[in-house]
Amino acid sequence: MPRDPAGDPAADSPIIAVRGLSKIFSRDGQAVEAIKDFDLTVCEGEFVSIVGPSGCGKSTFLHMLGGFERVDGGDMLIRGRPVTGPGPDRGVVFQEFALYPWRTVLQNITWPLEIQKVPKAERTAIAERLLAQIGLGRFRDHYPAELSGGMKQRVAIARVLAFDPEILLMDEPFGALDAQNRELMQEDLQVLWNATRKTVIFITHDIDEAVYLADRVVVFTARPGRVKAELTIELERPRGIEIKKTPEYARYRNEIWDLLRDEVLRARREAE
């Protein structure tokens, strides 16, 4: 269960409710079910990781929740209202860094605030506060080409946080990073989440990453994607990297792989 900054359990207040969701694509003139009869409820302030085999509909679900893909069946509600398109209540972080190369780090972070007509002094103050939180204050006037991959993704996350969305949708945001930077980014995200307590939906192929970050891990079946299982991760917060060395962590990791392995093999057979 998510916890508030004082450490008390957060009240159960669903912010996302998905019931009977379905998504169908047309491929070579044939209908392909990406998601079928999918149900999920997420409470405010909860960090939910979603894992599943390649092609199971994880990213499709995230894009539907972000308002970029239409819903073909069922209900997808945020605070009781249907999702009909993108909105300022949701911020999306993709695997690609998607920074503007002609803008400095500071200017990339302030961009969504410029769109919202936030006064310059206010948006600069917000960006500088976020740069301090992500440890990139010295790089405020650098351009993306001068940054490492991990630094670029920190800037991308800060840009989303700048306009203060209620919900963060993260689609394998660390998938393009090397192993060392991926571990460091996981730690950075823990710190940011502890500070902001945003509601987070986090898509990943990495079981260790899912367990380390989440309050709850949702396991998808092979296509069409459904919920095979949900596991509440009862590891103490805030979590340091040392928690990965504990027996409890290993137990969660192994349990999720046991649930996932058959689905990965089924997806592989269907792709042959």
- 90-119 pLDDT, tens digit per residue, is 999 988 778 999 999 999 999 999 999 999
Within-domain flag for 158:
yes
**In the predicted model, is pLDDT for residue 126 greater than 80?**
yes
- What values do phi and psi take at 199, rounded to 5? -75, 125
- Number of structural domains the chain divides into: 1
Predicted local distance difference test score (pLDDT) of residue 13? 67
Within-domain flag for 105:
yes
Cβ proximity of 198 and 190 under 8 Å: no
Rg (CA), the chain: 19
Longest dimension (CA), the chain: 57
Predicted local distance difference test score (pLDDT) of residue 266? 86
**In the predicted model, is pLDDT for residue 57 greater than 70?**
yes
Predicted local distance difference test score (pLDDT) of residue 6? 42
Residues in the chain: 272
The candidate with the shortest Cα–Cα distance to 21, out of 193, 180, 220, is 220
d(Cα 226, Cα 211) in Å, to the nearest integer? 20
Average pLDDT over residues 149-169: 94
Within-domain flag for 21:
no
Predicted local distance difference test score (pLDDT) of residue 249? 97
Predicted local distance difference test score (pLDDT) of residue 64? 95
Q: How confident is the model at residue 12 (pLDDT cuts 50, 70, 90)?
A: low
Within-domain flag for 124:
yes
Within-domain flag for 44:
no
Chain segment 207-254, per-residue pLDDT in tens: 999 999 999 999 999 999 999 999 999 999 999 889 999 999 999 999
Q: Structural domain of residue 105, as residue ranges?
A: 99-164
Predicted local distance difference test score (pLDDT) of residue 241? 87
Q: Among the residues of the chain, which ranges form H helices?
A: 58-66, 105-115, 120-133, 149-162, 179-196, 207-213, 247-271
Q: What is the pTM of this model?
A: 0.90
Within-domain flag for 159:
yes
**8-17, 27-36, 136-145, range with the lowest pLDDT:** 8-17
> What are residue 32's DSSP bridge partners?
25
125: CB partners within 8 A, 6+ apart? none
Identity of residue 63: H
What sign for the dihedral angle of Cα 264, 266, 269, 271?
Answer: negative
Average pLDDT over residues 54-83: 94
The token pair at 5 is: 């900054």
Predicted local distance difference test score (pLDDT) of residue 81? 95
DSSP state of 3: B
d(Cα 70, Cα 243) in Å, to the nearest integer? 39
Predicted local distance difference test score (pLDDT) of residue 29? 75
